Structure 1
Amino acid sequence: MITYEEHRLRTLAEDGRWPELLGHYRRARALAVARDGEARAAAETAPLGHLIAYAAPPELAVRLFDHDGGPGTAAGPADHDAGPLWEVLATRHSWLRLAPLLGPAPVRRLVAHTRVLIGEDLSYGAEPDPEGIPLQLEPWESAGWGEGVRVREYLPDGGSRSALLTLPATREGLGPVLLPEPGGRLRGQRTTRTLAALADWVEVVCARGPAPQAATLLAPGRRITGGYLPFALVYPVLLQAGSVDRAHGSAQGRLAVWRALGAMAGAGGPHRSEVNALVARMRCFTWCDPEDGLRHLHVAVEDPASGLSWAVSGSDEL
């Protein structure tokens, strides 16, 4: 049932009275923060924030994240409805339009990486990323999927659409495999922690030896259906695992994967040259699990240079 207040707000939007809507958003958020705290206030006002981020002119929409309205009025990186409000904004306007307007550094960075995922090359049009993550897609980042599925598609009245990526996506190209005895499990690896941070429904282990030896530690048995595949097909699923929560956007998934690859390469950070060299030599092994839910991810990635492999495995019923 549409309430009178919702009807009034929609009428203001239809009439293009965006400053009034922004003022309403700020007042409602500040009151909710004072009453219920930051997290509940963000959830309560997010639908209106989505409307503003989606449909308002960019000059006004970026003010959702400005603190000039006073305490508790500004949306932050965690404010979300169908997805983060900054990602909604980033899908609506080019970096050329948004760059002169965006203020807060965390939001600005996430918007930039969202535009990169959409297909913009910002390597010469934006300030360098603080971690050195490139502001353009590497060939292996763009090879495994179509442009339309890298970022959620947002709808004007709320809600979003996104592809459901799984690994393996199909049994095609896979076959019967007898896994070897498990490799020696290594604990305390920084790469293990960064991969585990992608999603709370995956388990990550590190083993000394090739990818199948790491897979043995998490696979349902030693006789499985599996096979090798290029990292370009693994990357989209890892990225989506890191951004599937509605509070997270695809940019956060991309940053998380680059951090994991940087740690795997043994670099001081996710530097482009070291990560590209790692991806070029990496071997990836995937397998099926009869207990898989709608969302699943089973992959072991091997760095022949270090002799280490990491297995990432999990399933989520949605």
Structure 2
Amino acid sequence: MITYEDHRLRALADDGRWPELLTAYRQGRAAAVERAGEEPAAALTAPLGHLIAYSAPPELSVRLFDRDGGPGTVAGVADHDAGPLWEVLATRHSWLRLAPLLVPAPVRRLVAQTRVLLGEDLSYGAEPDPEGMPLLLAPWETAGWDEGARVRQYLPCGGARSALLTLPASREGLGEVVLPAPGARLGGQRATRALAALADWAEVVCVRGPAPQAAAQLARRSRVTGGYLPFALVYPALVQAAVVDRGRGSAHGRLALWRALVAMAGAEGTDGPDRAEVDALVARMRCFIWHEPAAGLRHLHVALEDPACGLAWAVSGSEDL
């Protein structure tokens, strides 16, 4: 939890004097950019930005991202405190309220994708996603994931609560498995690169063969505690793998995972992903998870097999928080 030492700013917030707070944010950020550069300035002013994004009326809070204040004053997509300022904003207001107000395209897209994760249907009335990513959650995206855990739950004066999603979450339902000999690694797969973009703390390999042969490439031992899960139960942890960095939000994870699924299914189309092909991939996917004894607080050990093409991808890594 962040405490605000500047009592004047706290008093302004208590009185709802948001234009003055926005001015203070912009002046402070511009001065810090001139003095120390963009990245330190973003960090120094993020607590005040969080307060504005969380509590100010949307007509004012969206102006954090407007360039009308001049050079150095605008919050970018990477500005964050407990999480990205755009994600804080997205958790506070519906797309109906925000759509007429948000201008910058990168922020607008991430806010829209966040609202989709929170359960809004933007498939009608909203502009299409630049990559054609769906603006409505597929049934398999909601089946294994409680709505309240999909995005960080932000607090008014800083800080956030978030679910710690790991794979495997426990040993329950898993058994002892002797892995086969590792499959031969395949290089140059677009899906491998896309999966690697989910989490820079995890290793990704692709093999020709079933999921256990992919797992054998990365597992530390040939005898593991493991088992199979439906993709719907694997999906949340894959999305949240991208959110270890507080500068990234759940929208980053969803977009990255959809890119990986599109590449795995060969579902690229001229007008965006072929969603029927992605749905078919998800339906036939075999997901093998295994436990590693030295796993950190956040860990991911899963192999994704597409029996239709005979390929499997393993994603394995551990991150101490």
CA distance in structure 1 between the aligned counterparts of 2:283 and 2:303, rounded to whole angstroms: 16
Runs of 4+ in 1 over 2 A off after TM superposition: 1-4, 267-271
State the alpha-carbon separation in 2 of the partners of residues 88 and 270 from structure 1: 28
Partner of 1:238, secondary structure, is helix
Q: CA deviation at 1:71?
A: 0.8
- Contact 2:3 2:157 survives alignment (8 Å): no
Taking the aligned partners of 2:127 and 2:32, their CA distance within structure 1 comes to: 35
- CA distances 1:26-76 after superposition (whole Å, capped 9, x unpaired): 111111111111111111100000000000000000000000111111101
Answering whether residue 203 of structure 2 is matched by residue 195 of structure 1, we say no
Answer whether contact 1:282 1:301 (CA < 8 A) is retained: yes
Match of 1:275 in 2: 278
Partner of 2:174: 174
Give the Å deviation of 1:108. 0.5
Q: Which residue of 1 aligns with 2:301?
A: 298
State the 1:270 CA deviation. 3.9
AA paired with 2:264?
M
**Partners of 1:132 and 1:271 within 8 A in 2:** no
Structure 2 distance, partners of 1:82, 1:187, is 37
Q: Are 2:267 and 2:275, in contact at CA under 8 Å, matched by a contact in 1?
A: no
Structure 1 residue corresponding to 2:315, chosen from 303, 312, 315 = 312
1:263/1:270 contact within 8 Å kept: no
Q: What are the within-5 Å matches in structure 2 for residues 60-71 of structure 1?
A: 60-71=60-71
Contact 2:180 2:216 in 1 (8 A): yes
Superposed, 1:19-30 pairs within 5 Å as 19-30=19-30
Does the 8 Å CA contact 2:187/2:206 hold for their aligned counterparts? Answer: yes
Stretch deviating more after TM superposition (254-263 or 192-201): 192-201
Q: Which residue of 2 aligns with 1:247?
A: 247
Question: What letter matches 2:86 in structure 1?
Answer: W
Cα deviation 1:60-107 (Å, max 9, x = unaligned): 000000001111111010000000000000000011110111100110
Aligned match of 1:287: 290
- Asked if the contact 2:66–2:74 (Cα under 8 Å) also holds between the matched residues in 1, the reply is yes
Cα distance between partner residues in 1 of 2:305 and 2:250: 25
- Deviations along 1:138-162, one digit per CA (max 9) or x if unpaired, are 0110111111000000000100000
- Three-state SS of the structure 1 residue aligned to 2:101 is coil
Instruction: Give 1:172 deviation, angstroms.
Output: 1.4
Whether 1:215 aligns to 2:215 is: yes
8 Å CA contact 1:132–1:272 kept in 2: the answer is no
Q: Residue type of the partner of 1:293?
A: G
Conserved 8 A contact 1:33-1:41: yes
Q: Take 2:302 and 2:236, find their aligned partners in 1: how far apart are those partners?
A: 12
Q: CA RMSD in A?
A: 1.3
1:140 alignment counterpart = 140
Are the equivalent residues in 2 in contact too, given 1:261–1:270 (CA < 8 A)? Answer: no
Q: Secondary structure at the match of 2:288?
A: strand
Q: Which residue matches 2:40?
A: 40
| Residue equivalent to 1:13 | 13
Moved more, 218-227 or 11-20: 218-227
Q: Is the 8 A contact 2:4 2:10 kept in 1?
A: no
- Name the CA distance, whole Å, in 1 between partners of 2:207 and 2:58: 49
- Residues 193-231 of structure 1: per-residue CA shift (max 9 Å, x gap): 111111121010000001011000011211111111100
> C-alpha separation between the residues in 1 aligned to 2:299 and 2:103?
37
Would the aligned equivalents of 1:129 and 1:135 in 2 still touch at CA under 8 Å? yes
- What is the letter of the counterpart of residue 287 of structure 1? W
Unaligned stretches of 5+ residues in structure 1? none
Residue 244 (structure 1) shift = 2.2
Which range moved further: 254-263 or 272-281? 272-281
SS in structure 1 at match of 2:218: coil
> How many residue pairs are counted as aligned between the two chains?
317
